[in-house]
């Protein structure tokens, strides 16, 4: 057998699960043509004696038939599905077992082919039906305000979604919808003008924007004179008065630099297109909505209701004539559809903003901006970050945690861990530094991504820095260990390519087969994550690879050494499995935004 020569190859590119689901769906449709809309669940089996995959469609079909007065027990339903199943060289055997399961064994040859393909051609994404232009709106902190752990979640999840969709081959626009146009600028500029009157000629030394913000906020709240000045400043700014634009730019720059430090540390690439970017578009949009009669007056404000008239409306124009968060989001969705030609828009924010995005979509639909059959809009929501006391994440003294400090603490703790293991005596300073960063940032990202994003999650350095269990530390160690197996055996890729070309892999142990089966599920998993945009599925998968590898490596000798410690025998088939495992783990970690290191 030779790699890539199978006629099933194209069909199989979407993965085994996709293939099995397709042929079982077809069988169900033929066997029970009157049953529509029934799910045909196919999933990996929980135990090897139940086959490699299982189809559990018989029970629900039997129930659906019963509801129509037709009595066929699940065993017979399963047998009938099997009768109509178009078998091919992917499926080796299907058993019907009580009370109506279809246990599926897949061809070892086909699975091996996929491993050979991975070695020869690298890890390939499943084929795309259509390349989409995807706007991923993530991170999006607010200028002059704290970039908090909520934004950190958005940054981590959003970046990983971008990496996933880029890997799939989509055109991804990574957009930072920073809050740079709100009313807070009125008071910030008013304060700036008073504190640094020569700001137009001399760059004001604002180092700590947070305290600058606090100072101006307290004046705003207590001094009515200052308050009216602040309002006047917003109007000037929104009319793009050059002097005020300059002040605004100065303030934005300070924040921008701070944000960029975080992005650099976490390897985040993102393009800033804040609320202000849409100013001109907001003016035009509002005019258009007004002439088309979409705006209603409500106590001096202009609001717009979506298609569900009972839902809360968007505030499009405030009573003082200013625009809002709603206005900028409506203009942004229009810009993304009409100018960016996006066919998929993804917003990554805390779950609390779900309603906001629903109303935005609804109003966009009503105004003819959004056509849902052409553009998919998804809000990827996530829960709150909690401290170990299960309360809102705060410092010991009760303040919001500064992200720079959080990352520093991660580094310190990672270094401590490495020193506990005496790694500093083995690694060079450079290796130690990269290991420390990979661990610290990797842990923070992985802890976030490995939990179902919808839930709140507890931020705990102790838990995320554990080297056992489903943590980044465990995975990074597993990865470096696997890489070192191949490296220490002195095997190069040409030799492995040869093994793959000759199809020289005998499966002589259960655990080899188990590992192969897990590895070929990569495509299944990727498709599931693309569908759900829930990265914890990918984390569970990569963890499963690492544990399955360790079960394999415990009993399957890859290298035999004599008493003097010299290599006497190398099992090249198993070396190939090591390489395939390392590559798959690396790809998964890469999608999760986690750096790998060769030594740690």
Q: Which of 158, 179, 306, 410 binds ligand ARG (CB under 6 A)?
A: 179
Q: Minimum Å distance from CB 347 to ligand ARG?
A: 6
- Whole-angstrom Cα distance, residue 447 to residue 592? 11
- Per-residue mark of binding to ligand ARG, 289-328 (x: CB under 6 A): ----------------------------------------
* Helices 279-291, 325-338: crossing angle, 10 deg rounding: 90
Q: Which of residues 468-527 bind ligand ARG (CB under 6 A)?
A: none
Token pair recorded at residue 357: 């995005």
Span interacting with ligand ARG, options 134-142, 233-241, 366-374, 582-590, rule CB under 6 A: 134-142
Q: Minimum Å distance from CB 135 to ligand ARG?
A: 10
Q: Minimum Å distance from CB 295 to ligand ARG?
A: 21
Work out whether 159 is an interface residue with ligand ARG (CB under 6 A): no
DSSP-derived 3-state class of residue 377: strand
Instruction: Find all residues with CB under 8 Å of 179, minimum gap 6, and list them.
Output: 140, 141, 142, 143, 145, 274, 275, 325
Work out whether 258 is an interface residue with ligand ARG (CB under 6 A): no
CB-based burial label for 3 (10 Å; 0-12, 13-18, 19+): buried
Q: Which of residues 341-370 bind ligand ARG (CB under 6 A)?
A: 347, 349
Q: Which residues pair with 52 in a beta bridge?
A: none
Looking at beta carbons only, is 381 or 503 nearer to ligand ARG? 381
The answer to whether the peptide bond before residue 589 is cis (omega within 30 degrees of 0) is: no
Q: Which residues pair with 600 in a beta bridge?
A: none
Q: Which of 21, 62, 140, 584 binds ligand ARG (CB under 6 A)?
A: 140
Work out whether 181 is an interface residue with ligand ARG (CB under 6 A): no
Work out whether 183 is an interface residue with ligand ARG (CB under 6 A): no
* 499 close to 490: Cβ distance less than 8 angstroms: no
Work out whether 329 is an interface residue with ligand ARG (CB under 6 A): yes
Token pair recorded at residue 554: 């415990």
What does R_g of the chain's alpha carbons equal in angstroms? 29
DSSP-derived 3-state class of residue 326: helix
- Whole-angstrom Cα distance, residue 597 to residue 434? 7
Looking at beta carbons only, is 349 or 470 nearer to ligand ARG? 349
Looking at beta carbons only, is 51 or 182 nearer to ligand ARG? 182
Q: Which residues pair with 578 in a beta bridge?
A: none
CB-based burial label for 437 (10 Å; 0-12, 13-18, 19+): buried
- Whole-angstrom Cα distance, residue 229 to residue 251? 18
Work out whether 219 is an interface residue with ligand ARG (CB under 6 A): no
Q: Minimum Å distance from CB 593 to ligand ARG?
A: 19
Q: Minimum Å distance from CB 240 to ligand ARG?
A: 21
Residue for token pair 């090591």:
578
Span interacting with ligand ARG, options 46-54, 137-145, 389-397, 505-513, rule CB under 6 A: 137-145
Span interacting with ligand ARG, options 135-143, 191-199, 363-371, 585-593, rule CB under 6 A: 135-143
Work out whether 448 is an interface residue with ligand ARG (CB under 6 A): no
Q: Minimum Å distance from CB 595 to ligand ARG?
A: 27
Work out whether 534 is an interface residue with ligand ARG (CB under 6 A): no
Work out whether 276 is an interface residue with ligand ARG (CB under 6 A): no
Span interacting with ligand ARG, options 127-135, 139-147, 294-302, 374-382, rule CB under 6 A: 139-147
- H/E stretch holding 317 reads strand 314-317
Q: Minimum Å distance from CB 379 to ligand ARG?
A: 10
Q: Minimum Å distance from CB 142 to ligand ARG?
A: 5
CB-based burial label for 92 (10 Å; 0-12, 13-18, 19+): middle
Looking at beta carbons only, is 329 or 512 nearer to ligand ARG? 329
Q: Which of residues 375-434 bind ligand ARG (CB under 6 A)?
A: none
Work out whether 137 is an interface residue with ligand ARG (CB under 6 A): yes
Instruction: Please tell me the count of residues contacting ligand ARG according to CB under 6 A.
Output: 10
Query: What angle is formed at CA 82 by the lines to CA 80 and CA 83, rounded to 5 degrees?
Result: 65
Span interacting with ligand ARG, options 92-100, 136-144, 155-163, 383-391, rule CB under 6 A: 136-144
CB-based burial label for 7 (10 Å; 0-12, 13-18, 19+): exposed
Q: DSSP H helical segments within 196-269, as ranges?
A: 209-222, 224-238, 242-265
Work out whether 334 is an interface residue with ligand ARG (CB under 6 A): no
- Whole-angstrom Cα distance, residue 68 to residue 286? 54
> Residues in the site for ligand ARG, rule: CB under 6 A?
137, 140-142, 177, 179, 329, 332, 347, 349
């Amino acid at each position: 057998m030779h790699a890539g020569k199978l006629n099933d190859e194209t069909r199989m590119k979407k993965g085994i699960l996709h293939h099995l689901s397709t042929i079982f769906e077809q069988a169900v449709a033929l066997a029970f043509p009157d049953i529509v809309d029934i799910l045909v669940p196919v999933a990996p089996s929980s135990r090897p004696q139940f086959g490699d995959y299982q189809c559990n469609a018989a029970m629900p079909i039997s129930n659906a038939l019963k509801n129509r007065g037709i009595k066929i027990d699940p065993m017979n339903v399963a047998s009938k599905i099997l009768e109509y199943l178009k078998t091919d060289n992917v499926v080796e055997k299907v058993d019907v077992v009580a009370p109506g399961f279809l246990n599926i064994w897949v061809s070892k040859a086909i699975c091996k082919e996929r491993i050979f393909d991975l070695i020869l051609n690298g890890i390939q994404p499943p084929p795309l039906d259509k390349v989409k232009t995807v706007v991923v709106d993530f991170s999006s902190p607010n200028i002059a305000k704290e970039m908090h752990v909520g934004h950190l979640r958005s940054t981590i999840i959003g970046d990983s979604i971008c990496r996933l969709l880029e890997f799939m081959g989509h055109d991804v626009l990574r957009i930072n919808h920073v809050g740079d146009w709100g009313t807070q600028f009125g008071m910030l500029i008013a304060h700036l003008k008073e504190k640094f009157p020569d700001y137009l000629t001399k760059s004001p030394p604002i180092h700590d924007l947070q305290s600058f913000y606090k100072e101006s906020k307290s004046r705003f709240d207590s001094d009515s004179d200052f308050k009216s000045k602040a309002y006047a400043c917003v109007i000037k700014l929104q009319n793009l008065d050059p002097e005020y634009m300059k002040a605004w730019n100065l303030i934005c720059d300070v924040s921008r630099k701070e944000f960029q430090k975080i992005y650099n540390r976490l390897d985040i690439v993102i393009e800033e297109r804040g609320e202000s970017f849409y100013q001109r578009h907001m003016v035009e949009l509002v005019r258009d909505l007004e002439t088309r009669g979409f705006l209603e007056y409500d106590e001096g404000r202009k609001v717009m209701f979506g298609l569900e008239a009972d839902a809360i409306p968007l505030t499009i124009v405030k009573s003082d004539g200013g625009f809002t968060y709603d206005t900028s989001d409506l203009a942004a969705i229009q810009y993304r559809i009409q100018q960016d030609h996006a066919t998929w828009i993804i917003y990554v924010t805390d779950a609390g903003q779900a309603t906001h995005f629903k109303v935005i979509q609804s109003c966009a639909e009503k105004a003819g901006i959004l056509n849902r059959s052409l553009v998919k809009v998804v809000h990827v929501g996530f829960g709150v970050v909690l401290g170990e006391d299960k309360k809102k994440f705060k410092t010991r003294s009760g303040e919001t945690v500064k992200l720079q400090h959080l990352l520093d603490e991660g580094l310190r703790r990672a270094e401590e861990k490495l020193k506990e293991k005496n790694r500093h005596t083995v690694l060079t300073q450079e290796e130690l530094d990269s290991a420390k960063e990979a661990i610290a940032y990797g842990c923070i990202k992985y802890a976030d991504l490995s939990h179902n994003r919808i839930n709140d999650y507890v931020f705990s350095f102790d838990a995320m820095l554990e080297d056992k269990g489903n943590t980044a530390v465990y995975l990074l160690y597993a990865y470096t260990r696997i890489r070192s197996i191949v490296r220490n055996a002195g095997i190069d890729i040409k030799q492995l390519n040869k093994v793959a070309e000759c199809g020289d892999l005998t499966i002589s142990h259960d655990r080899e087969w188990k590992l192969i089966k897990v590895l070929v599920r990569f495509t299944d998993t990727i498709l599931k994550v693309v569908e759900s945009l829930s990265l914890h599925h990918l984390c569970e998968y990569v963890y499963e690879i690492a544990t399955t590898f360790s079960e394999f490596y415990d009993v399957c000798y890859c290298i035999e050494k004599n008493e003097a410690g010299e290599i006497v025998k190398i099992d090249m088939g198993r070396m190939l499995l090591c390489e395939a495992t390392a590559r798959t783990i690396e790809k998964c970690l890469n999608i999760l935004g986690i750096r790998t290191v060769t030594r740690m």
